[in-house]
Amino acid sequence: MVLDHSTVWDKCLDTIRKNVNTRSFKTWFEPIKAVKLNENSLTIQVPNKFFYEWLESNYVSLLKTSITNELGSAAKLEYQILGSSTSAPNPRSSGNFTSVNSGVSAGKSYTPGMISGEKIKNPFVIPGIKKVKVESRLNPTYTFSSFIEGDCNRLARNAGLAIVKNPGTTSFNPLVVYGDVGLGKTHLAQAVGNAILEENPEMNVLYVSTEKFTNQIINAIKNNAVSDLVTYYQLMDVLIVDDIQFLKGREKTQEIFFNIFNQLHQNRKQIILTSDRAPKDLEGIRERLTSRFKWGLSTDLSVPDFETRIAIFESKMNREGVELPPNVIEFICYNINNNIRELEGALNSIIAQSSLSQREVDLDLAKEIVRSFVKQMNKEITMEYILDLVSDHFKVPVDTLQSKTRKRHVVIARQMSMYLIQKLTDQTLKNIGETFGGRDHSTVIHAVKTIRDLMETDVFIKEAQEELEKKIRLSLND
């Protein structure tokens, strides 16, 4: 039988589909097209260089397994990159499934504080205190091992790991990590810097906040030393700048940073930026600068889900060498739900309170601690509250729950809502029925009975009921 490229790739996809989740398959493999088969070499077409590098960084072993299953141990995989700057598709061969070197030199190795043999001023040196070499200014506790992965940060974390392997030469340059306060932007950015230094101790890695950078510029202007400052920053192999939203309205700082950015990027040096919003939403920053922020990868850190918050909290407990009762952990992680920094603060507070007051760590103590972090901890159990929880759990919109549709997954979610409302609120059967599209009380009775029966035979329904009810009860203060 003569194989063609489409048949081979379809069989490869069958293997891949069994080894990745649905979201990853749709994101990273469905857009791929097989374009050519030449003996044992299969060529596939990917949308852009970013796509290619992501596959090579994260799925190379899986690609190797799938292609060798179809074409034998001598199989090769080649890429055509649609986003190439060349006029024709750019084939990139992974050989034995290792990414080819881009051929770009890593550049000269410089000693901070020196250029062409001439000593320049170190902006981090305090006058009167002699320092031979600038430190990275990284927090050594900010590492990948202490950064818990979840759906909320997976893309950003994996991009950071890819940068560690090839700083400055991937499509993730610059890497812009954005999100609300307390979600781990600084931790991740510095974790990348620490990992790069561990792999390449000779590299010059520097972390600086935008506020610190601005103050350095002000001092440099006063001392007529702007050129020294710019030259110093241009010697860095990896520059990490925190909170770039504070460049807003600072015209001179933006101008100088623009020059530093251009020189570093042109020389294939890695730039990592953090912000509280996406580059497109930054205000008061010149368009020519924000457009450069968009050259690489911009990825957000979102609020971690309940399970990820527990994993983060337990990781911090392990580092502190403490143990807390499971119900205390769940209570804290459920109520402090949008800020990792506050989770850490709650842990420190509960340890201190227990130690200083000689109190046992229990749910009552946890409630006292949480009150200082959460403005409104008590949640009234309302029909709307339960509907929102069920909607989120079953991925069914609230208006669909209240509609007339009889699709099975919607019916189950609707019946679960009725069951929980009837059990946990004072609503009458009539009121519950009216909330769900004007149904009568007999429908509610039937829904409650159905869920009770299913809980005895259906593990999925039983687990859903237990999880939803636990979330509701954890939200209470009594």
Query: How far, in Å, CA of 308 to CA of 184, rounded?
Result: 13
CA–CA distances in Å: residue 50 to residues 45, 159, 170, 300: 13, 10, 8, 17
Q: Give strand pairing partners of 34.
A: 44
Question: Which residues neighbour 432 within 8 Å (Cβ) at sequence distance 6 or greater?
Answer: 383, 418, 421, 422, 441, 444
Q: Between 246 and 109, name the one with better pLDDT.
A: 246
Burial class (CB in 10 A: 0-12, 13-18, 19+), 411: middle
CATH T-level fold of 383-474: Chromosomal Replication Initiator Protein Dnaa; Chain: A; (1.10.1750)
The predicted structure's pLDDT at residue 115: 41
Q: Three-state SS string across 238-302, please?
A: EEEEECHHHHCCCHHHHHHHHHHHHHHHHCCCEEEEEECCCHHHCCCCCHHHHHHHCCCEEEECC
CATH number assigned to the domain with residue range 125-300, chosen from the 4 options 3.40.50.300, 2.30.40.10, 3.30.365.10, 3.30.70.1880: 3.40.50.300
Position 475 scores a pLDDT of 62
Q: Which range (15-19, 130-134, 246-250) has the least confidence? A: 130-134
Q: What is the pLDDT of residues 117-163, one digit of tens each?
A: 445 566 665 454 444 456 789 999 899 988 988 888 889 999 999 99
Q: Which residue has the tokens 């930054």?
A: 282
Per-residue model confidence (pLDDT) at position 242: 93
The full set of domain ranges for the chain reads: 5-93, 125-300, 306-371, 383-474
CATH class of 306-371: mainly alpha
DSSP 319-381: HHT----HHHHHHHHHHS-S-HHHHHHHHHHHHHHHHHHT----HHHHHHHHHTT-S------
The amino acid that residue 12 corresponds to is C
- Highest-confidence range of 5-9, 98-102, 121-125, by mean pLDDT? 5-9
pLDDT tens digits for range 410-427 = 999 999 999 999 888 878
Instruction: Evaluate whether the domain defined by 5-93 bears CATH number 3.40.50.880.
Output: no
Looking at the DSSP bridge assignments, the partners of residue 42 are 37, 77
